[in-house]
Structure 1
Amino acid sequence: MEKIHLYLIGRCLSLRRKVLNKSFFLGIGMLLMFIHVDHLLAKEETEELANEATSAFIMEADTGQILYNKNAEEKLPPASMTKIMTLLLIMESLEEGSIELDDKVTTSKRAASMGGSQIFLEEGEEMTVDEMLKGIAVASGNDASVAMAEYVAGTEEKFIDKMNEKAKELGLENTTFQNTTGLPSDDHYTTAQDLAVISQALLRYENVLEYTSLYEDYLREGKENEFWLVNTNPLVRHYNGVDGLKTGFTKEAKYNLTATAEKDGMRIITVLMGAESPKERNRLSAELLDFAFQNHDYHVLAEKGEDITEVTVEKGKQSVVPITLRQNAAVVLRKGRQLNDIKRKVIVSDSVTAPAKQHDEVGTLQFYENGELLTEKSLVLKDEAPSASWAVLFKRTLSTMTGKLS
């Protein structure tokens, strides 16, 4: 009997050891699995892109959210990506009405003498602003850039001053321009991050994409000096969704590309600087776009143009004017992450005084998740608020007084 008890005790101890060993190795296996998952997540969080380039940057255009950054604040020569700022000032002039698309621009001797990329303008030759924009956006024409700078500002030097003033207005501390073209010049530099900010400002003028998205077109069509335009950015044809923006190359700068694409309502801006070849530039830029679209989702919290509230207008023809969003209030999240406990806060001026312009800023719309600010967007007047006539003001005052007396 004692032997049986000893045998049973031995079997129990043996089974216990097996169970413990199994649990131990199962625990080790689970631990290794978690370590592997953590390693993968860490790798995803710190994923290195554009290893073969000097710097790279990814931004979502609507929200301004930064999705990737590699040496993005390093000052570098931008080459022809300089023309993103040139295009921005031209689009602003068009919006202001100081120039029109069908205006005739006469080519100066200086503009015609520009080397590098060009559309071969001759001194005294006339082209419309529309044609010049094609020459800059598609063919990266240095001659067209200088001709337009002179037309907008009077001289290229005055236009360059406007470029640098705009850089300051945009809060760019690492950008200085010495010309409108990007041809090599001392103290002419910017950064990948600054170029993304300039591109974001340019893309607010959506009609610029009518030019930057063209893969090919013609200038002087049907004439002896007809010129075939082919976009220097091949991603416009070879990457689905790409509709801009600007390439650049000099020996010093190497091969650069600021690209933009839109998919599922999300517009991405990528900036790549310092690639060794056009092939590398295109491949690495495509990888930046892939990373952005494959790993992120765009969530709209309130839509552009949506009426949010209204504001009282002092001395206005209308007593109140609706307030709306100039841009989507949105946030970009890693794929799979869901938003929870979203609250919104409207902050608006008590009143505005007429006259007030359409799109004048009058407040902000904020969205919070669990008490943390997700995004903040400007609220603007939906309509113009003109001043009331003396007759209207008198009638309104009389009505108020009568109401108080009664």
Structure 2
Amino acid sequence: MQSTRNWYFIVILLFAVNTVYAQEKTQYPLTSSLGLETYQLGDFVVEQHPNLLPSQNSIRAGLLYDAEKGVIVWEKNAENAYPMASITKMMVALIAVEDVYDGKHDWNSEITYSVRVRKSRRSRRYYTVNVTYTLKDILTSVLVSSNNHNSEQLAKFLGGSVSNFVIRMNRKAKELGMNSTFYSNPSGLPEKYSANDNRSSPHDLLILALETMKYEELMDITSRGYTTVQRSNRDQKLKNTNRLTIDYKGEVDGMKTGYTRNAKYCLVASSTANDKRLISIVLGAPSVTARHDITAEMKNNYFFELGLCQLGEYSVNDAYVRAVNKGIVKISEEESKYFKVVKTQVKKTYTVRRGQNLSIIADRLGVGLSTLKRWNGISGSRIYPGQRLKYYSTGYTKVYDPDGKLDNTSKIPVLAAKASTNKSTPKKAVVKKTPAKKVYHTVRKNQTLSHIAEQYGISVKDIMRWNGLSNSNIWTGQKLVVGGRSVSSSSGGSKSKSSLITHKVRSGETLSHISDRYNVYIKDIKQWNNLRSNTIKVGQKIKVYAPKASIPKSQSGGDQKVYYVVQKGDTIWDIAQMYDGVSVSDILNENNISNSKRINPGTKLRIPVK
């Protein structure tokens, strides 16, 4: 009986101790000046915004950290450890870059390992090949495409063996104060027993993320949506597993994704939108789409509370109008008078499918090939299945205009897109007046000339010319002229300043090719030829009103000359049929050709257009 009473006493005592510990752990909430619940979480202050993530029940744990304020603005189970899958590779990268800075290795150090390769799909025979990466390239494959095998090979290179490197990982975690973190392998793959899986808490992963951000090399790697590395002197294309780096290029710059069956879908993401560094951590999301959407949702909701743009938006006006349309902000009848519907350019995305190239996509979207490449910062012609290309189409949107500066036909200069004409012939040139006072733009962090050009609807070349720039290098805080007295634009061209050309469609040509060749718009070509779709046939004759501004005048008279580069299969007769009033003899005489059959592909011919 006495022993039973002692056990009761011990149980009650343990319960009391646990209760006191729990009270000490959450000894504040306080009430902040914003009316938010404020408390301490490890080394971080938390200002909990309770409505920041309405879908928080769909994830196990997470947080959002405002690096500018140095506070966590939302968290859930931030001190509890959960499986983290391939987020493990952030620690691998941190140790690798520290070894480089300590002089133990060089970015160009070569890492070679052997792999067994099957001779063919049906063959049972294997042979061994050696694979070589530089340290920089193998680390890129680990962070961007989450290559598990390369992560293990990198661990062997840095630690001598995988087991030794894992000891270094756990030691580094303790040095950083990541007390809830445990590593059993360098890849994040599940162990035989789930209790041994790599684990960490959102609090610890925030410490790791802040440490990773100290190294520009790592942030440069994790910000790439697509990249190419050298694998045994051959190009290897990589796509980032963090889709946000592709959807919000220039705004989201890292860091790492993760997935196993036990960990579910995880993501540590860093962003610099609105010149504000935010770090978000999501553990245990139900799907790959959910982890990206939840991350964007919490960031966008926080931006909205601060009155800033969402990811992908251009101005605070866009954010305010969106809030009014969704009913988040209520306005009076007087205020509603200031909302107007104006023509604008709507940003959209197109996902590349297997077998498609830029010309096919440009035709489908009804834009020029060069314009599509400029919008996406593509210099060559390489695209990848699954890659998301941004494009713009004309639409109407509601704007807030309390000063009455816009009318219902005003066009917001989001970017310089191709304008269409409403008649079968080009419009008369219309010069738009610009303000006499110059317009300046102050360069923000991570902005490029392309971003600024799109924002003001001008070209990169214009900005470079107006500011006397010899290259595209700019710095934060720099003031650039983006408009003013010297800026004027015209749309279309008068018929008197255009030359009617009949173009004969050749094999492989599309409307995009013809548009780029004659410097006209696809929509204009379709209107001039009454085309209802972008489909054209080989041998079809297409009327084109090519602007004469770019055609050099003949030295012998008033006739105009254009230059044509001979393509494979062309004849002089075919070329003459492309231009009104031009005969075979005209081309032969102009180019001093005696034998019309002797023209080679690549030859540049002068065409005397009358």
CA shift, 1:154, in A, is: 1.1
CA shift, 1:245, in A, is: 0.4
Which residue of 250, 254, 276 maps to 2:286? 276
Distance 2:228 2:254 in 1: 18
Q: Is the 8 A contact 2:115 2:131 kept in 1?
A: no
Normalised TM-score (structure 1): 0.56
Deviating more after overlay: 191-200 vs 289-298: 289-298
CA shift, 1:256, in A, is: 0.7
Partner of 1:156: 162
Are 2:210 and 1:206 equivalent residues in the alignment? no
Which residue of 123, 135, 140 maps to 2:141? 135
Q: Is the 8 A contact 1:108 1:147 kept in 2?
A: no
Partner of 1:257: 267
Q: Is the 8 A contact 1:239 1:286 kept in 2?
A: no
Partner of 1:197: 207
Partner of 1:75: 81
Distance 1:123 1:141 in 2: 18
CA shift, 1:222, in A, is: 10
Partner of 2:241: 232
Partner of 1:46: 50
CA shift, 1:68, in A, is: 1.1
Partner of 1:387: none
Of Structure 1 and Structure 2, the greater helix share is in: 1
Distance 2:49 2:149 in 1: 44
Partner of 1:84: 90
Which letter maps to 1:165?
R
Q: Deviations over 1:156-191 (max 9, x none)?
A: 111111111111111111101001110012332111
* Inter-CA distance 158–216: structure 2 relative to 1 (3 Å threshold): same
Q: Is the 8 A contact 1:85 1:198 kept in 2?
A: yes
Which residue of 107, 110, 113 maps to 1:104? 110
Q: Does the residue aligned with 1:107 lie in a helix, a strand or coil? A: strand
Q: Does the residue aligned with 1:177 lie in a helix, a strand or coil? A: coil
Q: Is the 8 A contact 2:133 2:231 kept in 1?
A: no
Partner of 1:340: none
After superposition, residues 6-405 of structure 1 pair within 5 angstroms as 45-47=49-51, 49=53, 50-61=56-67, 64-107=70-113, 124-185=130-191, 186-187=195-196, 188-220=198-230, 226-239=235-248, 241-296=251-306
Q: Deviations over 1:5-61 (max 9, x none)?
A: xxxxxxxxxxxxxxxxxxxxxxxxxxxxxxxxxxx9679842252331111111234
Q: Does the residue aligned with 1:130 lie in a helix, a strand or coil? A: helix
Q: Identity of paired residues, percent?
A: 31
CA shift, 1:221, in A, is: 7.3
Q: Does the residue aligned with 1:124 lie in a helix, a strand or coil? A: strand
Deviating more after overlay: 59-68 vs 133-142: 59-68
* Inter-CA distance 123–258: structure 2 relative to 1 (3 Å threshold): farther
Q: Is the 8 A contact 1:58 1:269 kept in 2?
A: yes
Which letter maps to 1:47?
N
Q: Is the 8 A contact 1:56 1:270 kept in 2?
A: yes
CA shift, 1:95, in A, is: 1.2
Q: Does the residue aligned with 2:105 lie in a helix, a strand or coil? A: coil
Which letter maps to 1:239?
Y
Partner of 1:352: none
Q: Deviations over 1:311-355 (max 9, x none)?
A: xxxxxxxxxxxxxxxxxxxxxxxxxxxxxxxxxxxxxxxxxxxxx
Q: Is the 8 A contact 2:65 2:278 kept in 1?
A: yes
Q: Is the 8 A contact 1:131 1:219 kept in 2?
A: yes
* Inter-CA distance 205–66: structure 2 relative to 1 (3 Å threshold): same
CA shift, 1:289, in A, is: 1.8
Q: Deviations over 1:211-268 (max 9, x none)?
A: 1111112334797x75321100010011351011000001111111110011344311
| Structure 2, unaligned runs of 5 or more | 1-33, 38-47, 117-127, 309-610
Q: Number of matched residues?
A: 247
* Inter-CA distance 209–42: structure 2 relative to 1 (3 Å threshold): closer
CA shift, 1:94, in A, is: 1.4
* Inter-CA distance 234–151: structure 2 relative to 1 (3 Å threshold): same
Taking only aligned residues, the RMSD between alpha carbons, in angstroms, comes to 2.7
Q: Does the residue aligned with 1:98 lie in a helix, a strand or coil? A: coil
CA shift, 1:109, in A, is: 6.3
Distance 2:307 2:168 in 1: 37
Distance 1:165 1:246 in 2: 21
Distance 1:108 1:221 in 2: 12
Deviating more after overlay: 175-184 vs 57-66: 57-66
CA shift, 1:62, in A, is: 5.9
Which letter maps to 1:228?
K
* Inter-CA distance 42–217: structure 2 relative to 1 (3 Å threshold): closer
Q: Does the residue aligned with 2:199 lie in a helix, a strand or coil? A: coil
CA shift, 1:294, in A, is: 3.5
Deviating more after overlay: 45-54 vs 197-206: 45-54
| Structure 1, unaligned runs of 5 or more | 1-39, 111-121, 299-406
Which letter maps to 2:240?
N
* Inter-CA distance 63–133: structure 2 relative to 1 (3 Å threshold): farther
Q: Does the residue aligned with 1:175 lie in a helix, a strand or coil? A: coil
Distance 1:63 1:151 in 2: 39
Partner of 2:423: none
Partner of 1:397: none
Q: Is the 8 A contact 1:58 1:292 kept in 2?
A: no
Q: Does the residue aligned with 1:51 lie in a helix, a strand or coil? A: helix
Distance 1:230 1:199 in 2: 21
Distance 1:81 1:167 in 2: 14
CA shift, 1:151, in A, is: 1.2
Distance 2:71 2:216 in 1: 19
